[in-house]
């Protein structure tokens, strides 16, 4: 059942809660899966629905700060924090009063209490007339829900209802601080920052588990810290470091995944051509990142990505600490610093057909660079692509052995831009992936410099993997003659082929440098100068 925030709906939702039901409610942080905190049986239903380990205690939500002492032993410190931050995204761990059933606190003698600021949450709690125990309303281990549709996705009809209060204002769960430890300890960072807390708790200690992986077997102060969390289905890596370094790093990894997805900062959305890109806030706006993070992780899942990179900043304070803490758990502490990675310097060479690109590749090899020719990769891959290409262009492009006759294919595919585009749709992704795999291997081997040559450097997304890109071009007449000689074509056929391709302007406007190949010694000198600029 989906409830709106109308008086009538809220009263109905509160009534279900008052009678032992389970209803998901919006809060300013994330949606909570609520039940009457004083009813052990109702609370057991939360653990069942979520698949939550029994040793992970729940937060008790109250509508009014004055109720604090009813359920926990309030200390002067607790009152000061309540005064400063409630209602709001702060949870305090205090000694538990007996009215709170053991199941809520997972057998501990402490209890987590929070007074949310979301007006809908507070109205529901007030109307229910009982404190509400509520963990985040997601299946254990998956990203927290920041919209009603996330809750519905995870639970469908397995709970009694969801109150749809729209997207959550803050987007990460509350800050959890323990006041029973000495010194007081930040167990989970959230929207209320360590800096804000230190004004009231000068001795505040930050639990080791906030940004570090706990050694096996070590006891967590907060049971929630030891469980795997927020994990998307894809194999996930967080990449820190400057935007350009990170983009090179990510754009070069391919290793045979079906669908690579990048979650990045808003400003970086154009740095990953050819990959699925999801943004989650401005690079310098941790509050926006906090709002966008869980939706981004869920979107990557919905997209079916099997490899996920998340751009991250290693914040050590502020709201950003909460974002970083969630990301570390989402990727299982699999973080790479792009700035510290060994990166092969890569020059990408492109240009229209017949411009003499391969001459540049030869010069590169003579000057100590590793080289990759996309055309060679294409020839190597062709057997694998045969079925797809024949399905598109007909079996008369096959020779007697069932292999593709490159000449027959070229005749059909390079006769007009539309046919060329159809071939490219089949070949570009496969070639780009194979080139990236070779590049990753060179990188792993510690290669210093490499040159890639590809006519579709830009369209296939390969240029994003390069440090520098260059268009090599020649005069029309020169190109015509080169193609006629190379491929045994008539003048007319050679013209047709040139005209089916992207115009020179396209190449030049999408690369860093352009160089006229007029076959002179000056051309070679200039080409070597560019290569050595790497």
Q: Which residues of the chain form contacts with ligand TXA (CB under 6 A)?
A: 27, 29-30, 32, 56-59, 89, 91, 93, 105, 108, 110-112, 114, 134-136, 173-174, 176, 187-188, 222-224
- Nearer Cβ to ligand TXA (141/429): 141
> CA-CA distance, 161 to 101, in Å (whole number)?
24
For tokens 């989970």, what's the residue? 188
Q: What is the nearest approach in angstroms of ligand TXA to the Cβ of residue 109?
A: 8
- Nearer Cβ to ligand TXA (58/308): 58
- Nearer Cβ to ligand TXA (103/457): 103
C-alpha distance from residue 257 to each of 30, 248, 308, 461 (Å): 32, 17, 10, 16
- Nearer Cβ to ligand TXA (119/488): 119
Residue 461 binding result from ligand TXA, Mg ion, none, given CB thresholds of 5 to 8 Å by partner type: none
- Nearer Cβ to ligand TXA (222/373): 222
Beta-carbon contacts of 216 under 8 Å, excluding residues fewer than 6 positions away, are none
Residue 187 binding result from ligand TXA, Mg ion, none, given CB thresholds of 5 to 8 Å by partner type: ligand TXA
Q: Which among 260, 261, 265 has a CA at the least distance from the CA of 290?
A: 265
Q: DSSP string spanning 213-244?
A: PPPTTPPPSSGGGGS--S--SSEEEEEES-HH
Residue whose beta carbon is closest to Mg ion: 136
- Nearer Cβ to Mg ion (136/460): 136
- Nearer Cβ to ligand TXA (71/280): 71
- Nearer Cβ to Mg ion (71/230): 230
Residue 373 binding result from Mg ion, ligand TXA, none, given CB thresholds of 5 to 8 Å by partner type: none
Q: What is the nearest approach in angstroms of Mg ion to the Cβ of residue 27?
A: 12
Residue 458 binding result from ligand TXA, Mg ion, none, given CB thresholds of 5 to 8 Å by partner type: none
10 Å CB burial of residue 203 (0-12, 13-18, 19+) is exposed
Q: What is the nearest approach in angstroms of ligand TXA to the Cβ of residue 229?
A: 9
- Nearer Cβ to Mg ion (58/361): 58
Q: What is the nearest approach in angstroms of ligand TXA to the Cβ of residue 215?
A: 19
Residue whose beta carbon is closest to ligand TXA: 224
* Helix 417-444, helix 243-252: angle, nearest 10: 100
Write out the H or E segment, with its range, that includes residue 472. Answer: strand 468-473
Pair 463, 453: CB distance under 8 Å: no
> Can you say how many angstroms the Cα of residue 412 is from the centroid of all Cα atoms in its chain?
40
Q: What is the nearest approach in angstroms of ligand TXA to the Cβ of residue 297?
A: 15
Q: What is the nearest approach in angstroms of ligand TXA to the Cβ of residue 40?
A: 16
Residue 112 binding result from Mg ion, ligand TXA, none, given CB thresholds of 5 to 8 Å by partner type: ligand TXA
- Nearer Cβ to ligand TXA (185/427): 185
Residue 68 binding result from ligand TXA, Mg ion, none, given CB thresholds of 5 to 8 Å by partner type: none
Residue 222 binding result from ligand TXA, Mg ion, none, given CB thresholds of 5 to 8 Å by partner type: ligand TXA
DSSP state, 103?
Answer: H
Residue 117 binding result from Mg ion, ligand TXA, none, given CB thresholds of 5 to 8 Å by partner type: none
Q: What is the nearest approach in angstroms of ligand TXA to the Cβ of residue 233?
A: 20
Beta-carbon contacts of 211 under 8 Å, excluding residues fewer than 6 positions away, are 314, 316, 321, 324, 325, 328
Q: Which residues bind Mg ion (CB under 5 A)?
A: 136
> CA-CA distance, 57 to 217, in Å (whole number)?
19
Residue 154 binding result from Mg ion, ligand TXA, none, given CB thresholds of 5 to 8 Å by partner type: none
309 forms beta bridges with 237, 262
Residue 348 binding result from ligand TXA, Mg ion, none, given CB thresholds of 5 to 8 Å by partner type: none
Question: What count of other Cβ atoms lies within 10 Å of the Cβ of residue 255?
Answer: 12
Q: How many residues does the chain have?
A: 534
C-alpha distance from residue 515 to each of 127, 349, 359, 385 (Å): 74, 10, 12, 33
Q: What is the nearest approach in angstroms of Mg ion to the Cβ of residue 230?
A: 8
10 Å CB burial of residue 282 (0-12, 13-18, 19+) is middle
């Amino acid at each position: 059942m989906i409830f709106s925030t109308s008086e009538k709906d809220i009263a109905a939702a509160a009534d279900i809660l008052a009678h032992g039901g389970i209803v998901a409610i919006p809060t300013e942080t994330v949606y909570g899966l609520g039940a009457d905190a004083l009813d052990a049986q109702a609370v057991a239903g939360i653990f069942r629905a979520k698949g939550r380990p029994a040793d992970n205690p729940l937060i008790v939500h109250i509508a009014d700060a004055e109720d604090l002492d009813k359920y926990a032993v309030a200390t002067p410190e607790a009152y000061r924090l309540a005064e400063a931050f409630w209602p709001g995204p702060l949870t305090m761990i205090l000694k538990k009063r007996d009215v709170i059933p053991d199941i809520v606190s997972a057998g501990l003698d402490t209890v987590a209490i929070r007074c949310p600021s979301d007006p809908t949450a507070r109205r529901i709690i007030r109307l229910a007339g009982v404190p509400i125990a509520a963990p985040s309303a997601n299946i254990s281990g998956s990203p927290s829900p920041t919209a009603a549709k996330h809750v519905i996705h995870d639970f469908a009809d397995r709970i009694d209802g969801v109150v749809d209060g729209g997207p959550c204002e803050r987007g990460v769960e509350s800050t959890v601080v323990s006041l029973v430890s000495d010194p007081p300890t930040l167990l989970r960072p959230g929207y209320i920052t360590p800096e804000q807390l230190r004004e009231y708790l000068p001795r505040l200690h930050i639990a080791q588990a906030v940004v570090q992986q706990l050694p096996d077997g070590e006891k967590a102060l907060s049971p929630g810290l030891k469980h795997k969390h927020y994990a998307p289905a894809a194999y996930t890596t967080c990449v820190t470091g400057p935007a350009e370094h990170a983009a090179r790093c990510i754009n070069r990894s391919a290793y045979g995944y079906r669908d690579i997805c990048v979650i990045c900062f808003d400003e970086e959305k154009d740095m990953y051509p050819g990959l699925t890109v999801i943004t989650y806030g401005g690079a310098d706006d941790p509050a926006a990142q906090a709002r966008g993070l869980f939706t981004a992780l869920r979107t990557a899942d919905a997209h079916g990505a099997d490899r996920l990179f998340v751009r991250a900043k290693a914040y050590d304070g502020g709201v950003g600490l909460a974002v970083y803490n969630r990301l570390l758990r989402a990727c299982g502490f699999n973080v790479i610093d792009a700035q510290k990675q060994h990166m092969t310097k890569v020059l990408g060479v492109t240009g229209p057909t017949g411009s003499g690109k391969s001459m540049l590749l030869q010069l590169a090899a003579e000057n100590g660079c590793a080289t990759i020719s996309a055309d060679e990769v294409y020839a190597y891959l062709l057997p694998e692509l045969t079925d797809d290409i024949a399905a598109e262009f007909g079996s008369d492009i096959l020779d007697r052995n069932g292999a593709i006759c490159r000449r027959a294919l070229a005749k059909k595919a390079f006769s007009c831009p539309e046919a060329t585009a159809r071939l490219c749709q089949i070949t570009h992704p496969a070639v780009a992936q194979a080139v990236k795999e070779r590049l990753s291997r060179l990188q792993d081997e510690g290669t210093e410099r490499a040159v890639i040559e590809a006519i579709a450097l830009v369209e296939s997304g390969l240029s994003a993997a390069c440090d520098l890109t260059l268009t090599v071009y020649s005069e029309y007449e020169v190109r015509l003659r080169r193609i006629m000689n190379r491929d045994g074509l008539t003048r007319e056929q050679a013209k047709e082929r040139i005209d089916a391709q992207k115009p020179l302007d396209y190449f030049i406007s999408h690369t860093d440098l352009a160089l006229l190949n007029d076959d002179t010694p000056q051309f070679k000198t200039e080409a070597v100068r560019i290569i050595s600029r790497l």
